[in-house]
Structure 1
Amino acid sequence: MPPQPPSRRPTYPLAHASRRKPRRLPLVLRFTKGSIHSIVVIPVILHSLFTALVVYLTRHAHASLGLPPTIIPSLSIVVGLMLVFRNQTSYDRFWTGRNCLTTIGTSVRNLARVFLVNARRGGEDGAKISAVEIADTERMIRVLIAVLYAVKNNLRAEFNIPPAGLVDADRFQDRPVRPSTRSSGESGTATPKAEYVTLLPDGLMGYEDQGLGLPLQLTVLLEGYIRRGIDRSWFNGPMASQMTAQLNSLVDAYGRMETIRTTPIPVAHLIHQRQVLALFNCILPFATVVEFGWWAIPIVALVAFTLYGIEGIGVQLEDPFGYDKNDIKMEGIIEDTRQEVFVLLEEWKIQAQGTGVSSHSGMFE
Structure 2
Amino acid sequence: MTPARHHTRRPTYPLAHAARQKPRRWPLVLRFAKGAVHGIILVPVILHSLFTVLIVYLDRHVTGNLGLPTSIVPSLSIVVGLMLVFRNQTSYDRFWTGRNSLATIGTSVRNLTRSILVSARSKGVNGTPLTDRETADTEKVVRVLVAILYAVKHNLRAEYNIPPASGIAGEGEITTAKAEYYALLPDGLRGFEDQGLGLPLQLTVLVESYIRRGFERSWFHGPQASQMTVQLNNLVDAYGRMETIRTTPLPVAHLIHQKQVLALFNCVLPFATVDDFGWWAVPIVAIVAFTLYGIEGIGVQLEDPFGYDKNDIKMDGIVEDTRQEVMVLLDEWKAAGSGNGAHGGMFD
User: TM-score under structure 2 normalisation?
Assistant: 0.93
- Summarize the alignment of residues 225-236 of structure 1 with structure 2, pairs less than 5 Å apart: 225-236=210-221
Question: Which sections of structure 1, spanning at least 5 residues, go unmatched?
Answer: 1-8, 175-187
What amino acid is aligned across from residue 172 of structure 1 in structure 2? G
The alignment partner of 1:290 has SS state of helix
**Residue 207 of structure 2 corresponds to which residue in structure 1?**
222
Evaluate the alpha carbon distance shift between residue 54 and residue 80 of structure 1 in structure 2; reply closer, same or farther with a 3 A threshold: same
- In structure 1, give the amino acid aligned to 2:245: I
1:80 aligns with 2:81: yes
- What is the alpha-carbon root mean square deviation over aligned residues? 2.0
DSSP 3-state at the match of 1:20: coil
Paired with 1:269 and 1:143, the residues of 2 have a C-alpha distance of: 41
What's the counterpart of residue 341 of structure 2? 357
Aligned residue runs from structure 1 range 84-233, under 5 A = 84-162=85-163, 172-174=170-172, 193-233=178-218
* Residue in structure 2 matched with residue 258 of structure 1 by the alignment: 243
**Equivalent-residue separation in structure 2 for 1:169 and 1:17 (angstroms):** 29
Q: Whole-Å Cα distance in 2 between the matches of residues 139 and 171 of structure 1?
A: 20
CA gap 1:285/1:189 in 2 versus in 1, 3 angstroms = farther
Q: In structure 1, what is the Cα distance between the partners aligned to 2:233 and 2:341?
A: 37
Q: Residue 138 of structure 1 aligns to which amino acid in structure 2?
A: E
Structure 2: state its 5+ residue gaps: 1-9
Distance in 2 (CA, whole Å) between partners of 1:253 and 1:123 is 34
CA distance in 2, matches of 1:275, 1:98: 31
| Structure showing greater relative contact order (alpha-carbon pairs closer than 8 Å, 6 or more residues apart) | 2
Query: Is contact 2:35-2:310 (8 Å) kept?
Result: yes
**TM-score (structure 1 length as normaliser):** 0.89
On the 8 A contact 2:162/2:169 being kept in 1, the answer is no
Count residues with an aligned counterpart: 339
- Which residue identity lines up with residue 91 of structure 1 in the other structure? Y
Q: Deviations over 1:153-181 (max 9, x none)?
A: 000000121357xxx8768325xxxxxxx
Counterpart among 321, 331, 354 of residue 306 in structure 2: 321
Indicate how the Cα distance of structure 1 residues 357 and 10 shifts in structure 2: closer, same or farther if over 3 A, else same.
closer
| Counterpart Cα distance in 2 of 1:10 and 1:201 | 28
C-alpha separation between the residues in 2 aligned to 1:210 and 1:172? Answer: 18
Pick the aligned partner of 2:281 from 290, 296, 306. 296
TM-aligned CA distance change 1:66 to 1:189, over 3 Å = farther
SS at 1:129 equivalent: coil
Q: Secondary structure at the match of 2:281?
A: helix
What is the CA–CA distance in structure 1 between the aligned matches of 2:174 and 2:156, rounded to whole Å?
17
